[in-house]
Chains A and B, each alone.
Chain A
Amino acid sequence: MSTQMSRRSMLKWMAAGSATAALAACAVPAATDSGDSGDMADMEDITIGWARHGSEGDVPTETGLAELFKANHPGVSVEPLVLPWDDYNTKIPVMVAGGTAPDTFGCHPALMAETHTAGGSTPLTDFIDAYGADLNYDDVVYHGDALFDGVVFGLPQKSCTHQLRYNKTLLQEAGLPLPGDLYWEQGADGWNWNTFIEMGKELTKDLDGDGETDQYFYGGSGGTNQLATIRSAGGEVFDEAISTCIINSAEAVEGIKFMADLVLEHKIQPPPEMQASELGINFNTGKIVMAGGTTCDSVRDLREGYELPFEWDFVLVPAGNAGFRCWGDTDQIVISSSSEYAQEAFDWTVYRSSLQAWEEGYDSGIKLAFSDGPTRYSIFESKAYTEPLGALDIPMIREGYINTIPNPFVPRSPQPYRVLFTVMTTEVDNALRGVKTAQEAADDMCAQIEEILAENA
């Protein structure tokens, strides 16, 4: 008898196999641990979804915190999902729109506003009130980012300010006062645009005598510190109703002119076209004395094995006519309006945002100080923050939170990131390259912003 299988037989077996596979795929989940009895239901684990943007390095952090939470809340598991920034910003909105968002997820200011508008987030005020004094809501930083018409929609997962980092070693070698000392001793009288420029002229140098500058004082402002500078000059992007662009006001133009003068007149900042960082002229190589940096990410340079070969610290963006202004924002944890476990999700949200999570995490080897900025003022005094960041002026970092004015710092406008990181940065760049005056750049900004407002009216 032949053992060879005929084509017909083979097709029959394939059909049978496919049907079995299809039926298996359609099968309902096994009911072994989801019985109808109350006792069984009580024993059943509830799983809360939790998504945030981040890198692979954040996965063990979130897994570890989820385990610590479970130790305090038996029966509730948290399933973390960490996605890269770009993926996160496409997948989470789609999930919100489709009603399939994780029970809890982190929202940066723009996503927070979009999620709120779409009805994707659960109001938390009642939960907070019910929690009572133990939650100590007054201790939470950046209330503004979570508030919509007086209702709270989130608790912070992380909070950051954008300040300036300065190379202490270079300043001390030059015999110049440290910006931090100027701030603490004299406030806006000591640390302002004028002292910034004067120090800049001292420390912008041609080190090898070839006629080209190869050490600059300032690395330049990204969109975050551009907004801080414009606001420190008394300028603003929108009027209070967010119906008119006012970034071409005299005050705002003064802020833009200050930034342009650093390149064109004082020459203490490399011109944009120089691509200085690619040439090794950047803060980490010691060829830039001051540079923008976030108080969440820059501190990673303190980790063992990543230390910079010089001492450095933070200081606020120097004061303009309106005083100190500091970019600050939070990633708020929101509870999806489609979550079936709102109370358990709130318990997780409270824990993830708490001093307790920071300290329990720290004791078990999770250093949130190197990934997430403080979510509460009490964290600035906790060993979970002071021990990893002990080399820095921690009260200065705290000052950034206090000087985040207004709060929320990111305007609740249509397409805020387009306004700040495309329109504003492009036009400020034009002013820095000298192809437009500060006023022209500001007028062109307003023309584009008005169009965005009109489109979304």
Chain B
Amino acid sequence: MLGKSRLYWKIVFEGYAFISLWIIGFVVFTAGALFGSFSISLTKWNIVGTPEFIGLGNYQKMFEDEFFWKSLQVTILFLFNVPLNLALGLFLAMLLNQKIRMIGFFRTLFYLPSVTAGVAVSLLWMWIFNPRFGVINVLLKNIGISGPAWLGSETWALPALIIMSVWGVGGGMLIYLGALQGIPTAFYEAATLDGANALQKFRRITVPMITPVLLLNLIMGVIGSFQVFTQAFVMTKGGPNYATLFYVLYLYQNAFQWFNMGYASALAWVLFLVILAFTFLILRTSSSWVYYEGG
């Protein structure tokens, strides 16, 4: 045991010295900004003038701000993309977990869209959703259906963005694929010997074994959904008639278009608390459905 010997302190010092750059970076650029934003959230400040301390005024204002509620509603509705992406990601991962020719090529093909730049993807989907020449409406027209105005429709703009979210399914798919490949084949062989069919193997072996990864993808999906910005900023600007006014877009507008820095900081802190609450809820329920091998 080292105790508090000179060597012990030397090791401690060197350890901290090695991570000191990260600590300084974290304190200055992350923790500092975090506490700074909380201080700003207690003020009314348009950047140019002097901040005016208003206590919890910005937080109270949210309760009366219809656009705060609207943006929260839009963002929560957007959470529907999470189960869609979870299911589709798993489905694709199972398809790509087969022993077929050119499997590497197909895996790359399905993963590539998820690493494409957000703005480029948004511009591409604006074309896909174009009511007159977009590929979706052209396909619908071919089967006798008159497609909606998609991004120009209050009803369809948000579902359109949910549909578009599957474009990034490759990221989750890759994690599922890793988990699927980590399941010992002996489990499946034993189940086959016991006469289990494919569906039974999926329900009784595959799903339980990948629940830790499901949990990860669920949490990441929920957090990502609360932070949606680029699509709305590029494609709809929050419209039509605020139908795609996502929370972060509203926060951005307040901060960098209208210079309500105090209110924007308060919005950021409430978003942090909402995400924290959702994550906590998911983690609390996870003990009843997540299976960890060995404990």
Residues of A within 8 A of B (CB): 86, 89-90, 93-94, 96-97, 114-115, 117-118, 120, 212, 271-275, 278-279, 415, 417-418, 422, 426, 429-430, 433, 435, 455
Scan residues 88-144 of chain B and give those whose CB is less than 8 A from a CB of chain A: 126-127, 130-133
Contact present for A429 and B240 (CB under 8 Å): yes
Contacts of A422 in B (CB 8 A): 253, 257
Residues of B within 8 A of A115 (CB): 48
CA separation between A426 and B253, bound complex, in Å? 14
Counting CB contacts under 8 A, is B291 at the interface? Answer: no
Given known contacts A118-B49, A429-B239, is B256 in contact with A274 (CB within 8 Å)? Answer: no
Q: Known A-B contacts: A114-B48, A422-B257, A426-B239. Give 13 more (CB < 8 A).
A: A93-B259, A97-B50, A117-B49, A272-B240, A273-B131, A274-B152, A275-B130, A418-B253, A418-B257, A426-B240, A426-B242, A429-B241, A455-B61
Known: A273-B153, A426-B241, A435-B241. A97 touches B48 (CB 8 A): yes
Find chain B residues with CB under 8 A from A96 CB.
48
Docked Cα-Cα span, A426 to B250, in Å, equals 14
Q: Is B131's CB under 8 angstroms from A274's CB?
A: yes
Which residues of B sit under 8 angstroms from A433, Cβ to Cβ? 152, 240
* Interface 0/1 of B259-285, CB less than 8 Å to A: 100000000000000000000000000
Q: Is the CB of A278 within 8 A of B130?
A: yes
Given contacts A93-B259, A418-B258, contact A118 B241 (CB under 8 A): no
Prevailing SS type, chain A contact patch = helix
Distance A417 CA – B258 CA, assembled complex (angstroms): 8
The 7 closest A-B pairs by CB, nearest first: A273-B152, A273-B149, A93-B47, A118-B48, A114-B48, A93-B48, A118-B49
Within 8 A of A (CB), among B227-250: 239-242
**How many Å lie between the Cα of A278 and that of B152 in the bound state?**
13
A-B contact pairs, 19 of them (CB 8 A): A86-B256, A90-B256, A94-B47, A97-B47, A114-B46, A271-B152, A272-B240, A273-B131, A273-B153, A274-B131, A279-B132, A417-B257, A422-B253, A422-B257, A426-B240, A429-B241, A430-B240, A435-B154, A435-B240
With CB as the reference atom, state the residue of chain A lying closest to B45. Answer: A97
A120 to B49 CA separation, bound complex (whole angstroms): 9
> In the complex, which range does the number of interface residues on chain B fall in?
20 to 34
B260 to chain A, nearest CB (A): 8
Decide yes or no whether B210 CB sits under 8 A from chain A.
Answer: no
Q: Which residues of A contact B256 (CB under 8 A)?
A: 86, 89-90
- Asked if B151 is an interface residue, CB under 8 A from chain A, the answer is yes
Residues of A within 8 A of B242 (CB): 426
Known pairs A273-B149, A273-B153, A278-B126; A120 contacts B257 (CB<8 A):
no
Q: Which residues of B contact A94 (CB under 8 A)?
A: 47
Which of B61, B153, B239, B253 has the most chain A CB within a 10 Å cutoff?
B239
A89–B259 alpha-carbon span in the complex (Å) = 9
Minimum CB–CB distance from B152 to chain A (whole Å) comes to 2
Are B130 and A90 in touch, CB under 8 angstroms? Answer: no
CB distance from A100 to the nearest CB of B (A): 13
Residue of A nearest to B254 (CB): A418
CA distance A187 to B30 in the complex (A): 61
* Residue among B48, B133, B259 with most chain A CB within 10 A: B48
Are B47 and A275 touching (Cβ within 8 A)? no
- A211 CB → nearest B CB, Å: 11
Which chain A residue has the least Cβ–Cβ distance from B153?
A273
A422 vs B133: C-alpha distance when bound (angstroms):
28
Contact of A90 among B47, B127, B132, B153 (CB under 8 A): B47
Q: Are A275 and B253 in contact (CB under 8 A)?
A: no
Closest-by-CB residue of B relative to A89 is B256
Tell me the chain B residues, 60-106 only, with Cβ under 8 Å from chain A.
61
Query: In the bound complex, what is the Cα–Cα distance between A417 and B256 (angstroms)?
Result: 12
A96 to B151, CA, bound (A): 39
